[in-house]
Amino acid sequence: MPDAPRPVTMDKIVSLCKRRGFVFPGSEIYGGLANAWDYGPMGVELKRNVKEAWWRDVVRRREDVVGLEAAIMMNPAVWEASGHLAGFTDPLVECRACHHRFRADHVESSTCPDCGGELGDARQFNLMLKTFLGPVEDTASAVYMRPETAQGMFVNFLNVQTATRKKLPFGIAQIGKSFRNEITPGNFIFRTREFEQMEMEFFVQPGEDDEWHDYWIRERLDWYVRHGVREENLRLRPHDADELSHYSKATTDIEYLFPWGWAEMEGIANRTDFDLRQHSQHSGARLSYFDNDTNEHVTPYVIEPASGVDRAALAFLVDAYDEEEVGGEAAGAGAGETRVVLRLHPRIAPVQAAVLPLSRNARLTPLARDLFAGLVDDGRWRVEYDDAQSIGRRYRRFDEVGAPLCITVDFQSLDDNQVTIRDRDTLLQERVGIPDLSSALADRLG
Ligand code: ATP
């Protein structure tokens, strides 16, 4: 546990997200749609960075993982075979008095958390959202919005293997939207009915699955730490036998200490050969791997790291949130004022460097604009230009969106061809020659 109480609360995160353009309530001008959220200019960058960091480490940097983008709507036979039609359910209980509904495994007693009334018996509720394709709403045209991206990888196992000639072990990864008719969505973007997943199915020789499971648990935990999440706010939680999904032999969750407590951010499951076998049986296609060494067909086992983009984004925001009492020009705050700052990792931060001319001025503006254009053309950085309001207010804004660096162009810059780099975390200000700016940024942003 952290030594000092963390300054972060969900109210502060939700309000910062609205104020600075990370996340807005969905369809707000129509009164909203419960638990639907829209990502604003900062949020979309943050989310994109989370996905890019994942794709970079899980796909691009590895020779044993390839990417895929499957359609969201799949043949309904997929969900029959995968067991989701029969088994992708949560236990639902309803209060006999106020009729509010809860997930039975989320309530602690048989009394209603809202009104204290008596809760009825649990019944299984299927989480898949259904819709109809074409003009006729009959059973023949019913399809499901995928509740996980994983099945896209399983049904394309042969296509990918044939196209890439990958040898075991190898993985297929995908990022995309999934949908679940959650009984109790909530906690901001933590649990919604429409969300985005980053999933990878890693196919291994049966017998090597336990080892690879351990490998991916470590690798995924490290990934969050490498991207700045504090270790003390992360923990691993192996599932008890009675909570395992219908396809899983073993699952370990990576949990994050959110303001309301520990909760799952990612699950790493050993899905065995369940899915490939089911699809082989149901489709008639032989979803196996021919092992040239033994001249035998094997049905690979699958290790699946499955994470949520929205949950990861929320964890990054919560973990980065800080407040400190500082005063002075560099802080952009008066003495004794509170500075709110997101200490986001440079790879995750929506803006990496802000170019700030001290004021709008016929001599400063062209220099600052030039410098900005040069950094944009460089292509390595996410840069913003801002010349509105006082410099202090601008520092505050860029602290609140987590920009690691501000580059200030002042009147002295006109004479000495230098600018000031202000560090978000240390508040140190350093003069750097404009020709050296690119390498100064590379040193600081990694
Ligand atoms: P929970 O127990 O919280 O309902 P789960 O165990 O059903 O989650 P998985 O099926 O393991 O979740 O899905 C993998 C990941 O997808 C989760 O770790 C989470 O990050 C994300 N995810 C799942 N459901 C949602 C949701 N309703 N909203 C946002 N993200 C979700």
pLDDT one-digit tens code per residue, 204-227: 999 999 999 999 999 999 999 999
On the question of pLDDT at 147 being above 60, the answer is: yes
- Nearest alpha carbon, ligand 1 atom 6: 267
Determine which helix (DSSP H) or strand (DSSP E) holds 342, and give its type and residue range. Answer: strand 338-342
On the question of pLDDT at 2 being above 60, the answer is: no
Is pLDDT larger for residue 5 or for residue 401? Answer: 401
The sign of the torsion formed by the CA atoms of 311, 221, 219, 273 equals: negative
> What distance in angstroms lies between residue 401's CA and the mean position of ligand 1's atoms?
26
On the question of pLDDT at 403 being above 70, the answer is: yes
Model pLDDT, residue 291? 93
- Nearest alpha carbon, ligand 1 atom 3: 264
Flag whether the pTM goes above 0.75.
yes
Calpha distance 50→315 (Å, rounded) = 11
At 326, the pLDDT band (50, 70, 90 cuts) reads: confident
Spacing of C-alpha 203 from chain mean position: 23
Instruction: For 154-174, write each residue's pLDDT tens digit.
Output: 999 999 999 999 999 999 999
Q: How much is the mean pLDDT over the chain?
A: 95
Pick from 125, 195, 199 the residue to mutate for probing ligand 1's pocket: most ligand atoms within 8 Å of its CB.
Answer: 195
As for ligand 1, residues whose beta carbon falls within 6 Å of it are 180, 182, 191-192, 195, 197, 264-267, 306-308, 310-311
Closest atom of ligand 1 to 191 CA is 28
Calpha distance 317→308 (Å, rounded) = 14
On the question of pLDDT at 111 being above 70, the answer is: yes
**Least trusted range by pLDDT, from 102-111, 359-368, 413-422:** 102-111
Model pLDDT, residue 413? 97
β-pairing, 338-342 vs 65-67, is unpaired
Instruction: For 68-100, write each residue's pLDDT tens digit.
Output: 999 999 999 999 999 999 989 989 999 999 999
- Nearest alpha carbon, ligand 1 atom 12: 267
> What distance in angstroms lies between residue 126's CA and the mean position of ligand 1's atoms?
15
> What distance in angstroms lies between residue 352's CA and the mean position of ligand 1's atoms?
30
- Nearest alpha carbon, ligand 1 atom 29: 191
Model pLDDT, residue 446? 86
Pick from 35, 242, 255, 311 the residue to mutate for probing ligand 1's pocket: most ligand atoms within 8 Å of its CB.
Answer: 311
**Least trusted range by pLDDT, from 18-27, 126-135, 251-260:** 126-135
Please name the residues in contact with 426: beta carbons below 8 A apart, sequence gap of 6 or more: none
> What distance in angstroms lies between residue 140's CA and the mean position of ligand 1's atoms?
29
- Nearest alpha carbon, ligand 1 atom 25: 191
Model pLDDT, residue 46? 98
Calpha distance 51→47 (Å, rounded) = 6
Q: Residue 328 to residues 420, 430, 439: CA-CA distances in angstroms?
A: 16, 16, 28
Instruction: For 328-384, write each residue's pLDDT tens digit.
Output: 777 776 767 889 999 999 999 999 999 999 999 999 999 999 999 999 999 999 999
Is pLDDT larger for residue 106 or for residue 414? Answer: 414
Instruction: For 255-306, write each residue's pLDDT tens digit.
Output: 999 999 999 999 999 999 999 999 999 999 999 999 999 999 999 999 999 9
Contact 150, 189 (CB under 8 A): no
SS3 of residue 114 by DSSP: coil
At 3, the pLDDT band (50, 70, 90 cuts) reads: low
> What distance in angstroms lies between residue 232's CA and the mean position of ligand 1's atoms?
22
Calpha distance 10→104 (Å, rounded) = 24
- Nearest alpha carbon, ligand 1 atom 26: 191
> What distance in angstroms lies between residue 132's CA and the mean position of ligand 1's atoms?
25
- Nearest alpha carbon, ligand 1 atom 21: 308
Amino acid letter at 13? I
- Nearest alpha carbon, ligand 1 atom 2: 264
Closest atom of ligand 1 to 266 CA is 18
> What distance in angstroms lies between residue 310's CA and the mean position of ligand 1's atoms?
10
- Nearest alpha carbon, ligand 1 atom 16: 308
> What distance in angstroms lies between residue 307's CA and the mean position of ligand 1's atoms?
7
